[in-house]
Amino acid sequence: MPKGILGKKVGMTRVFIQDKEIPVTVIQIEPNYVVGFRTKDRDGYDAVILGMGKRKKKRTPKPLLAIFEKAGLEPLKYLKEFDTKEGEQLELGQEVKVEEVFEKGDLIDITGKSKGRGFTSAMKRWDFSGFPKSHGARYHRAVGSIGACADPGRVWKTKRMAGHHGNETITILGMEVVDIIPEKNVILVKGSVPGAPGSILELRDSVIKNRRKGKRKLEKVKELYASE
């Protein structure tokens, strides 16, 4: 099986475990299919390509159409590569289900696009504190000085100023899988994840679960959800 899967954010709700209220994000796992493979001999690494979501045939490039036809699939909209678990074989066109990839109490990394905020001020974009808000202050939400005087005589690159905010690819590490509902193809993850409802998410095995802190967290999470 692959070490990840594609999903769609539905929204947030809450669940109760051992009389504790836990905020969770509901992620809908639409059918994921195996579209292709990467191999060490040909590509230098091993991976599986998963696809999700319907796509119009007339809007699909011919090279992609040939790949889908070879796998015996209708055109899919979203494609992503994932590592595979050792000793497990997959077949072209095979459907991958969420309960085959993750289980309750796992730690996963979630990647998505953050909400776009448009053009925002430096205070909102970078969380600046601003100037004094008392009576008589000349500035309140201004950026302030953006450079030195004659030397260097320009604004340094990477200077934090007003500009486009959001719509960036963000990955959150070590999120807890609170529950999996196979009959509804839904996974519940503790906390919030990037993006607006309906946005596409990548769910992968966490890279921190083999670290010292990750192992301690994983043990606590497994104990909590195993007792439920």
Confidence of residue 218 (pLDDT cuts 50, 70, 90): confident
Confidence of residue 149 (pLDDT cuts 50, 70, 90): confident
pLDDT mean over 77-93: 86
Residue 228 has pLDDT above 70, yes or no: no
What share of the chain has pLDDT > 70, as a percent?
98
Pick the more confident residue, 29 or 222.
29
Confidence of residue 194 (pLDDT cuts 50, 70, 90): very high
> What domains does the chain contain, in order, with CATH numbers?
4-116+169-226 (2.40.30.10), 117-166 (no CATH)
Report the largest interatomic distance among the alpha carbons of the chain, rounded to a whole angstrom: 72
- What's the CA gap between 82 and 7, in Å, rounded? 13
6 burial class (0-12, 13-18, 19+ CB within 10 angstroms)? buried
Angle at 176 between CA 172 and CA 177, to 5 degrees: 120
Q: What is the pTM of this model?
A: 0.85
Residue 50 has pLDDT above 80, yes or no: yes
pLDDT mean over 168-187: 92
Residue 227 has pLDDT above 90, yes or no: no
Residue 119 has pLDDT above 80, yes or no: yes
Mean pLDDT of all residues belonging to the chain = 90
- What's the CA gap between 213 and 205, in Å, rounded? 16
pLDDT mean over 11-30: 91
Residue 177 has phi, psi (to 5 degrees) of -85, 110
Residue 221 has a pLDDT of: 80
Residue 147 has a pLDDT of: 84
